């Protein structure tokens, strides 16, 4: 007996990439029919979601994570997620391993950054956002990355992020130094950490 496609979507958090849907027994034709009937909606090229689910709280991060599961949300996008910036990201910043093919998406715009292997794998947290696993760097790794990319994103953004991080009362200078060493910018960060201590 054929499994109900809506049930397959529900078992997978209400969202599926086309290739995942096909693997689970939903044909392309069935996907298009479900879309025409208003049961599912296309949230990005090749990504479908049940229409009657509550609105996505963080649609850009969810879309990018569904389309590019190996990318990690970083820099200003991660600062915004953690609430340690007043900046509004105009694109989703993602880390990818050095030498890998950069993701490309019409919407939302994606800003890929190539990281060395050690810098790429350090500090990743996988969070469930709207039922989708989203990889994002923790606060301390994000701050270290922002220091490393300070010439691209602006030192004013980095200093503001440090100030807001410091105000949270749950600062972890040991972790900051650890990620600073991994990103090879600990000596650059040190004077600022001492000033904030």
- The residues spanned by each domain of the chain are 5-50, 59-196
pLDDT band per the 50, 70, 90 thresholds, residue 12: confident
> Tell me: the pLDDT tens digits for 141-177?
999 999 999 999 999 999 999 888 888 767 888 898 9
Q: Of the candidates 112, 117, 109, which has an alpha carbon nearest to the alpha carbon of residue 91?
A: 109
Read off the pLDDT of residues 66-125 as tens digits, 9 standing for 90 and up: 778 889 999 999 999 998 998 888 888 999 988 887 777 777 788 899 999 999 999 999
Residue with the two structure tokens 């590019």: 68
| Residue 138 clears pLDDT 70, i.e. is over it | yes
State the pLDDT confidence band at 178, using cuts at 50, 70 and 90.
Answer: very high
Q: What is the pLDDT of residue 56?
A: 60
99-110, pLDDT tens digit by residue? 887 777 777 788
Regarding pTM above 0.95, the answer is: no
Contact 173, 192 (CB under 8 A): no
Q: Which long-range contacts (CB under 8 A, 24 or more apart) does 123-132 make?
A: 123/179, 124/72, 129/57, 129/58, 129/61, 129/62, 129/65, 130/13, 130/15, 130/53, 130/56, 130/57, 130/58, 130/62, 131/13, 131/14, 131/15, 132/13, 132/15, 132/62, 132/65, 132/66
The single-letter DSSP state of residue 37 is T
> How would residue 126 be classed by pLDDT, with cut points 50, 70 and 90?
very high
Interstrand relation of 15-17 and 47-50 (parallel, antiparallel or unpaired): antiparallel
Position 65 scores a pLDDT of: 86
């Amino acid at each position: 007996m054929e499994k109900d496609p809506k049930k397959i979507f529900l078992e997978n958090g209400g969202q599926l990439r086309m290739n995942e849907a096909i693997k689970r027994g939903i044909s392309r034709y069935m996907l298009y029919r479900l879309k025409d009937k208003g049961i599912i909606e296309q949230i990005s090229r090749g990504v479908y979601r049940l229409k009657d689910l509550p609105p996505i709280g963080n649609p850009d991060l969810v879309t990018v994570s569904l389309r590019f599961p190996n990318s990690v949300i970083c820099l200003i996008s991660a600062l915004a997620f953690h609430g340690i910036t007043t900046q509004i990201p105009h694109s989703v910043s993602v880390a990818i391993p050095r030498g890998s093919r950069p993701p490309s998406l019409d919407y939302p715009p994606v800003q890929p950054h190539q990281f060395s292997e050690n810098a790429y794998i350090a500090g990743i947290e996988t969070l469930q956002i709207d039922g989708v696993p989203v990889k994002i760097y923790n606060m301390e790794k994000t701050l270290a990355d922002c220091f490393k990319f300070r010439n691209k994103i602006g030192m004013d953004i980095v200093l503001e992020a440090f100030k807001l991080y410091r105000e949270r009362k749950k600062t972890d200078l040991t972790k900051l130094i650890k990620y600073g060493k991994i990103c090879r910018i600990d000596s650059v960060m040190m004077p600022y950490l001492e000033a904030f201590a």
